[in-house]
Structure 1
């Protein structure tokens, strides 16, 4: 960055120096042209009025020659050739016609400088030649050039050093971020990058990266917890299967093989349900909350089909939409069916009377409720039960219950459909309320 900035600065300084020398030269040349033009005009005025002195004076260093129609010099300033005009007749005529100053080498006339010459015509065919040395301009330009030639590299070095220090100071926090990133490992408890004190872009970058690391750490902890909880849940049925088989093989003569097979089958079904729940959660996590498919789903047809297998254990109450239209949402029919089945299974685990399933349209939402008459859930625990592998007191249910993944699957699936789910008191019992946006 310093090299690039220095290169650009060097080009800019070179162009600026060249432009400054050019502007300075033109300004000085204009000053000389103005002075010789003014001096020539005043001399023409005196010549036309017949008041020319025998010896012309020029306090500003302008050389004057008054040439008559025959080419003879009649008046001149001191130090000026009185025999040979600075310009011959043809050159004088050309200069008068063009009305411009021109350069003339003064050495043939005993003047060791380049002259800037201007010619004006006067009455009687006379011409006034005004000239001034250009050496002062050359000297000024040369002096300015030497100053720039020495000063520009020094300025470039100074600015390059300043750029190096400023850029280095700016990038120092980035180097600290890099070192902090090198120190982060997958076994570190707290994986964070150092945040600089300055409230600048690097501070914002470090804060953003730390937020990202916090999300990754949260996801990693969640994944580790899922693996740990899944392993814990798998141990119980596997241990039960192993124990039953070891007992059966150790005492085959007194073993009821049908009873053993039924016990092993029950534990195998638990393993199967756990594997299905874990697979469903893994697919939800893999898609990042997105749906596998998005298509119109008629809930007033899906709900009866999903609970049909429960028979009289579940009652269904459907309220048609406005104008008798179907209650339709956009989403995945299989996933929504799984949501309803999980809620009904959870309700049946605690209910003594039939579970009530209701569906209605309410504003821009489809509202699906599943109500049971069980012991309910205390209000402080109604949000916690949606966490993975969360199970409350299993003694309230009539079986051993699931692995605590059903409600977690319900919430993540509903959120993927853009809806919301919560639990509320049914007095008695518990009601699960699912809201989904209508198509």
Structure 2
């Protein structure tokens, strides 16, 4: 009994097992369905050439289908109207003859139009040769509704005429009615032939247009494929590589030109970075070598060494390293931000006066100082003034003058009476690690970063800086927009 009880299913198990089986059987299709991408995702993953070709072909298919339907509709209506016009004209001619009393039996019509003339009681009195003399082509109820030239279709089989007829009813004098009918079989065959031609020819034309679109789009996208192939060949170590520029002056040409200009900027930036690293390593090597030499000499001959003098020499080289590191850090921050960290109104006159007070009053003097407020970072602008004054003091013979003018812009001028800078070198001195021949001394010259920091800082504030001849001496002119 225990075994039987254990082997038997409890009432709740059957329902649970059934639900589990249903869930298991339904789980696989759900997983399979979730693995398939949606139609939009599938469509977006296709190539641009395929999507453009399919889209163009679909638009052409709709346009051709609408054009074919419109052609058949217009052609059918035009042929029906032409047939009705001819039948109506023949009926009017016969009615005119009947009204004039010159109508004979059988009625003679030159173009094969079937004519029946009915009297007031609806009996056929005159017909064209071969027409039915007993039964009118149009029943009485239709004759009353169709008078006035409006045609209608009538089956010609009961009258021994193959195909449909186009019938027009016209009234005449004395209650008589003229019925004119023309065979519509030839017209119907022409429309049918046109429809069959369009049914067969339109898909063939669509296939031809799709093939032409595929080739044209492929040739259009070929320059893009060339750009992609050219981009794949450019590596991080490649030098002076450019993307191919197509001859056509189109959007792809503009894209290739823009990308090549971007590569030029990246290459220039890379060259600048490499030059910066090389120059920085060269500048670091000299003070480090000096420190090492002084320490090696001191340690090698400790008994005859003046340790205070050694410490002073090492400290001087260490300060040079500190200034170099600070300058490099400042340039790195300027390259990263490209704009001041803090933007606030700064009184440039007060800033110039407070900065000039740090120097020897007999050497650095203030000239005309007009009130001028600019927007920017006070610490960055102070660094600009310090670098300009340090450079001017280093080369001045007897005086350095600071002036400030304010018109539509603030113009800060620092002038010294030193040897000046040749005109050919006035732009080059703003490059990083650039020192002229008379400033090569490590003792009285800097690392060549001061003017570079000045230019980058002024540019970040939306201004400009230039050097001019002061005759004698050099004039540094900083132009900043007013607040």
TM-score by length of structure 2 reads 0.85
Q: 1:370: which partner in 2?
A: 414
Aligned length: 432
DSSP 3-state at the match of 1:224:
helix
Conserved 8 A contact 2:439-2:445: no
Q: 1:221 to 1:179 in 2, by over 3 A?
A: same
Matched, 1:383 2:383: no
The separation in 2 between residues aligned to 1:85 and 1:395, in whole angstroms, is: 124
DSSP 3-state at the match of 2:349:
helix
Q: 1:172: which partner in 2?
A: 222
CA deviation string 1:161-189 (max 9, x = no partner): 22222222221111111111110111111
Matched, 1:299 2:343: no
Q: 1:78: which partner in 2?
A: 129
Deviation at 1:394, TM superposition (A): 4.4
CA deviation string 1:203-262 (max 9, x = no partner): 222122111111111111111111111111111112222222333333334333322222
DSSP 3-state at the match of 2:358:
helix
Conserved 8 A contact 2:365-2:399: no
Q: 1:198: which partner in 2?
A: 248
115-124 vs 154-163, which deviates more? 154-163
**Equivalent position to 1:3, from 34, 48, 54:** 54
Conserved 8 A contact 2:463-2:481: yes
The separation in 2 between residues aligned to 1:222 and 1:313, in whole angstroms, is: 40
DSSP 3-state at the match of 2:146:
helix
Q: 1:340 to 1:313 in 2, by over 3 A?
A: farther
Matched, 1:16 2:67: yes
Q: 2:27: which partner in 1?
A: none
Conserved 8 A contact 1:330-1:438: yes
Q: 1:56: which partner in 2?
A: 107
DSSP 3-state at the match of 2:357:
helix
DSSP 3-state at the match of 2:126:
strand
Please provide the CA RMSD for this pair. 2.0
Deviation at 1:314, TM superposition (A): 4.1
CA deviation string 1:18-60 (max 9, x = no partner): 1101110000000011111111111111111111011112222
DSSP 3-state at the match of 2:102:
coil
The separation in 1 between residues aligned to 2:240 and 2:53, in whole angstroms, is: 36
**Equivalent position to 1:207, from 257, 271, 274:** 257
The separation in 2 between residues aligned to 1:284 and 1:86, in whole angstroms, is: 100
Conserved 8 A contact 1:417-1:436: yes
DSSP 3-state at the match of 1:232:
helix
Matched, 1:282 2:332: yes
Q: 2:375: which partner in 1?
A: 330
The separation in 2 between residues aligned to 1:331 and 1:203, in whole angstroms, is: 41
247-256 vs 331-340, which deviates more? 247-256
Conserved 8 A contact 2:117-2:179: yes
Q: 2:357: which partner in 1?
A: 308
The separation in 1 between residues aligned to 2:457 and 2:351, in whole angstroms, is: 16
Unaligned runs of at least 5 residues, structure 2: 1-51
DSSP 3-state at the match of 1:356:
strand
Q: 1:405: which partner in 2?
A: 449
CA deviation string 1:299-326 (max 9, x = no partner): 11001111222242543324353xxxx2
Matched, 1:240 2:290: yes
Conserved 8 A contact 1:316-1:358: no
Conserved 8 A contact 1:296-1:328: yes
DSSP 3-state at the match of 1:310:
coil
Q: 2:165: which partner in 1?
A: 115
**Equivalent position to 2:477, from 428, 433, 436:** 433
TM-score by length of structure 1 reads 0.93
98-107 vs 75-84, which deviates more? 98-107
DSSP 3-state at the match of 1:292:
coil
Q: 1:17 to 1:395 in 2, by over 3 A?
A: closer
Q: 1:178 to 1:217 in 2, by over 3 A?
A: same
Instruction: Kindly report structure 1 stretches of 4+ aligned residues shifted beyond 4 Å.
Output: 394-398
Q: 1:418: which partner in 2?
A: 462
Q: 1:221 to 1:283 in 2, by over 3 A?
A: same
DSSP 3-state at the match of 1:434:
strand
Conserved 8 A contact 2:364-2:400: yes
Deviation at 1:399, TM superposition (A): 2.8
Unaligned runs of at least 5 residues, structure 1: none
Conserved 8 A contact 1:105-1:113: yes
Q: 1:345: which partner in 2?
A: 390
The separation in 1 between residues aligned to 2:82 and 2:163, in whole angstroms, is: 18
Matched, 1:31 2:76: no
The separation in 2 between residues aligned to 1:5 and 1:395, in whole angstroms, is: 70
